[in-house]
Amino acid sequence: MSASSAALTFELVARCSTTRARASILTLPHGPVNLPIFMPVATQASLKGLTPDQLEGTGCRLCLNNTYHLGLKPGQEVLDAVGGAHKLQGWNHNILTDSGGFQMVSLLKLANITEEGVRFLSPHDGTPMLLTPEHSMSLQNSIGSDIMMQLDDVLVTTSPDKVRMREAMERSVRWLDRCIAAHKYPDRQNLFCIIQGGLDLDMRRECCREMLARDTPGIAIGGLSGGEAKDDFCKVVAACTELLPDLKPRYVMGIGYPEDLVVSVALGADMFDCVWPTRTARFGNAITKHGVLNMKREVYAADFGPIEEGCGCPCCRPVEEDGAMGITRAFIHHNAAKETVAAHLLTLHNVWYQLSLMGQAREAIIADRFPAFVKEFFGNLYPDRTSYPSWAVDALRRVGIDLMET
């Protein structure tokens, strides 16, 4: 089954016969993307620690850029002059840009949201600035991203203010209408809506219905990863995916922990992003199937094995293989505290791990062995079943996987 819009084709390749997991192909202006997918975050048109060639080598075909940061520097005039972010960063694959609203609310203390837009003070010189839905669309049109996100009214899910939460949800719908009207290039850029509503499932469902009536090429579930309990997170994702159409991509914004990705795929989501894998690399942490390893620990000082045994990334493969480096844990440990090379190598490994994890999930869905894949994943990550997080056990049980089953 497949469906197309002006700048996007979505083909549903396979479904898990037990859970809601799906495997699909998303074709965008800069090429096809296999789903489910983890999208690395190249905030300012570069992924910290990797060249575009290295990022391409991980198999990444869709990464994130940040509208807020690119709008400040290099700025819209430079983006227009160079012909957009693809040319600016030498990236021939797909780009997704957020709207810029989340950064202003989360990073800037002096942000004030009104019906007009988000008012804030420039972090550079303190100049009062205003980001409206129209300006967000204009910036993203200049960036030239393959997927652009609507400006939404973002409120942390843990906010107890139900009145403000409803205001944010309803305003996000109105702002989507303004984004659609202001979007100049729907023939070559895809505008995704963002479902809001906090942890109130009825409000989320109401927002779903309103957003779906606008018929955008893809749909995002926003406002999560804000400190809410994981059980609540899963209930929101499940409630939304239940209502979403089969033939459109589903994007859960801002999640990156491996267990979050695997559970969200089981709940029917397709796309994910987070800065965590690259950020944690800069603290000396390697993501592996057995959990996160801090390579600064003295235990790795004379460990001459790869970062992760069996990993296919260039760092971990034996140096005798083509394009491989044969990096040891001891080398990473030696450099982790004082040299940037360790951060670069761990970034490469971590991005590879995340993309490989989603690739393995996809293969398991196509082969209809996804429940076995999920059980193996949790079995590797935790020493015994009693250690499994209860939120994951409960969420997976609701879609037909019993992790506690022998």
Residues 207-255 pLDDT 10s: 999 999 999 999 999 989 878 999 999 999 999 999 999 999 999 999 9
Percent of the chain exceeding pLDDT 90 equals 81
User: 193-202 pLDDT, tens per residue?
Assistant: 999 999 999 9
Confidence check: pLDDT of 348 > 70: yes
- Average of per-residue pLDDT values in the chain: 94
Across 109-132, average pLDDT: 82
Distance CA 100, CA 139 (A): 9
The pLDDT score that the predictor gives to residue 43 is: 67
Q: What is the mean pLDDT of residues 378-403?
A: 97
Cα gap 191→222, rounded to integer Å = 15
Average the pLDDT over 22-32 and give the result. Answer: 98
**CB count in 10 Å sphere of residue 174:** 13
- Rounded Cα distance, 289 and 371, in Å: 17
Please give the model's pTM, rounded to 2 decimal places: 0.95
CA distances from 47 to 120, 202, 257, 341, 373 (A): 26, 38, 18, 15, 30
**The predicted structure's pLDDT at residue 159:** 84
Report whether 349 belongs to an annotated binding site.
Answer: yes
CB hemisphere CA count around 268 (13 angstroms) = 25
Whole-number pLDDT of residue 35: 99
Determine whether the annotation assigns residue 102 to a binding site: yes
Among the residue ranges 36-50, 136-150, 168-182, the one predicted with the least confidence is 36-50
pLDDT of residue 289: 97
Catalytic member of 270, 273, 322, 394 = 273
What pLDDT is attached to residue 21?
A: 99
pLDDT of residue 126 exceeding 80: no
pLDDT at 47 over 90: no
Give the integer Cα–Cα distance in Å for 149 and 100. Answer: 9
- Structure tokens belonging to residue 238: 């499940």
233 annotated to a ligand binding site:
no
User: Active-site residue 98, yes or no?
Assistant: yes
DSSP state of 71: I
Q: Is 223 annotated as a binding residue?
A: yes
pLDDT band at 45 (very low <50, low <70, confident <90, very high): low
Q: Is the pLDDT of residue 108 over 60?
A: no
Q: Binning pLDDT at 50, 70 and 90, where does residue 107 land?
A: low
- What average pLDDT score do residues 46-71 get? 90
Q: Where in the chain is the domain with CATH 3.20.20.105?
A: 35-274
pLDDT of residue 110: 66
152 labelled ligand-binding: yes
Looking at the chain, the whole-number percentage of residues with pLDDT higher than 70 is 97
Give tens-digit pLDDT for 306-321. Answer: 999 999 999 999 999 9
Amino acid, single-letter form, for residue 79: L
Domain 35-274 has CATH 3.20.20.105: yes
Question: Which residue in the list 53, 80, 98, 384 is annotated as catalytic?
Answer: 98
391: phi then psi, degrees, rounded to nearest 5:
-60, -40
Cα(76)–Cα(372) distance, integer angstroms? 48
State how beta strands 22-28 and 8-15 pair: antiparallel
Q: What is the mean pLDDT of residues 395-404?
A: 97
Report residue 49's pLDDT band, with 50, 70 and 90 as the boundaries: confident
Look up 270 and say whether it is catalytic: no
* 373 known member of a binding site: no
| Residue 97 C-beta-side C-alpha neighbours within 13 Å | 32
Is pLDDT at 88 greater than 80 in this prediction? yes
Strand partners for 14: 23
| Whether the bond into 52 is cis, omega within 30 of 0 | no
The answer to whether 60 is annotated as binding is: no
Evaluate whether 64 touches 99 at the Cβ level (below 8 Å): no
